Amino acid sequence: MKTKLLVTVASLLSMSAFAANWEIDSAHSSASFSVRHMMVSNVRGEFGKLTGMASYDPAHPTAATVEATIDASTINTREPKRDAHLKSADFFDVANHPTITFKSKKVTAADKGHLKITGDLNMRGITKEVTLAVDGPTAAMKDMMGGQRMGATATTKINRKDFGLNWNKALEAGGVLVGDEVTITLDVEWVQKSEAPKHAAK
């Protein structure tokens, strides 16, 4: 039993030793969503600021960890009045809940080139477990500054009422103004973080 425990610990240490730290490049990443409008079409929007960190080793992808934060105040549906309503207490209540966060708890392999990341999504002060279907990550590539970059796309579907976004309006012809199911898509470009310089012992 002791030998098995030592082997497990050694394996975990070996995996973490090769895992690199990655940071979301906000300028080349986006968090978007779509929701049914009047039962006939999809309205799409995005959040302008997405930040986060990940630990990832391509040799051990299921050992990855991911944390991401969305600035809810940066919502943009290309209609200022609608954006103001979405920021209000009827929806995201940005004044009291300025961020939307995700923190991974488990990563599993899907088919080749795809992962499933399960974690806690916190929106409007309510936390629910969701699973992201991930296309990627891609192989790392060197950028023009000599750094390493990789990309991934993650999608999930949620019921907005699970997070307290309950506002709606009934239509005269039947149905409602806003659908309950929301599709969320994260298109993320990651840049590898350089290790902090080690100071010589005095």
Domain ranges of the chain: 19-192
Which DSSP string do the residues of the chain spell out, in sequence order?
-HHHHHHHHHHHHHHHHHPEEEEE-GGG-EEEEEEEETTTEEEEEEES-EEEEEEE-TTSGGG-EEEEEEEGGGEE-S-HHHHHHHHSTTTT-TTT--EEEEEEEEEEE-STTEEEEEEEEEETTEEEEEEEEEE-PPPPEE-TTS-EEEEEEEEEEEEGGGGT-----B-TTSSBSEEEEEEEEEEEEEEEPPPPPPPPP-
Are 77 and 43 spatial neighbours (Cβ–Cβ below 8 Å)? yes
Report the predicted TM-score, pTM, of the whole model to 2 decimal places: 0.84
Which of 10-14, 72-76, 124-128 bottoms out in mean pLDDT, i.e. has the lowest? 10-14
Averaged pLDDT, 172-193: 90
Top mean pLDDT of 2-6, 16-20, 146-150, 172-176 is at 146-150
| Domain 19-192, CATH class in plain words | mainly beta
Closest C-alpha to 70, from 93, 91, 46, 90: 46
Task: Tell me: pLDDT of 198 over 80.
Answer: no
Averaged pLDDT, 10-18: 44
Give pLDDT tens digits for 27-82: 999 999 999 887 778 999 999 999 999 999 999 999 999 999 999 999 999 999 99
Closest C-alpha to 190, from 28, 19, 58, 8: 28
Measured CA to CA, the distance from residue 183 to residue 36 in angstroms comes to 10
